[in-house]
Amino acid sequence: MKLVNLGESNSLLNSFIAQMRDKVVQKDYLRFRTNLHRLGEIFAYEISKTLKYSPKEVQTPLGTAIVDTFDNKVVLSTILRAGLPLHEGMLSYFENAENAFLAAYRKYDAADKFHVNTEYCTTPDLTGKTLILADTMLATGSSIILAYDRLINDGGEPEHTHFVCPIASTFAVEALKKALPANTTLWTAAIDEELTSHSYIVPGLGDAGDLAYGEKL
């Protein structure tokens, strides 16, 4: 697995991450969703640089132009619900992409320990395509590994998979390096060192789903 941390280079992306982490700014749900959408656009643009391109003819009103455009068949996927604004941002750039969705959540037992459940999953054929799987937070890595396994089990083997996780933990990055094959890339904007006993990232930003759509029961 290849790792790309866009936050290591100074850009506007870091300003959006700062706003998402800020507990005062977080009170504005719309701002939080907008920033996730912006991150989706930035990650999509950066991933587009890794695709395969070839020249195509474009007929203009005055003649013919030759433009290099990408040839990959792209499938965008996300884990419901926090990843939806991120997904929409990427879809605004990969406007003709196919789409896949999957539900994954933590299920706690009586001892307050959890395991990750995956349920609803819908995907097109992934065989030989470029899969981009997005989730806002990468705490332990369990959810996104299970999501990836479920998607390729249902949809087939992609040529390459890009994982987009704006906030990640060191623990999860190492877990993905061990679990994922060579034809995968993890894209992030910040890697935090600490996990709490309940596997929440510190400093992190809190529950991304609640910050985007309101608290749940």
Q: Write out pLDDT tens, residues 74-92.
A: 999 999 888 999 999 999 9
Q: How confident is the model at residue 116 (pLDDT cuts 50, 70, 90)?
A: low
Residue 59 lies in a domain: no
pLDDT at 182: 97
Domain at 124, CATH number: 3.40.50.2020
pLDDT tier, 216 (very low <50, low <70, confident <90, very high otherwise)? confident
107 vs 161, higher pLDDT: 161
Is residue 153 situated within a structural domain? yes
Confidence class of residue 114 from pLDDT cuts 50, 70 and 90?
A: low
Token pair, residue 98, equals 């196919």
Asked if 100 and 155 touch (Cβ cutoff 8 Å), the reply is yes
Query: Which residue from 83, 100, 114, 84 is spatially nearest to 161, judged by alpha carbons?
Result: 100
**Is residue 190 a part of any domain in this protein?**
yes
**C-alpha–C-alpha distance, residues 128 and 157, integer Å:** 6
The domain total for the chain is 1
Q: What is the pTM of this model?
A: 0.93
* Residue 56 placed within a domain: no
β-strand partners of 162: 132, 185
Cα separation, 14 vs 12, whole angstroms: 5
For residue 180, being part of any structural domain is answered with yes
**Would you say 177 and 211 are in contact if contact means Cβ atoms under 8 Å apart?**
no
- Domain carrying residue 167: 2-47+73-213
Average pLDDT (119-139) is 95
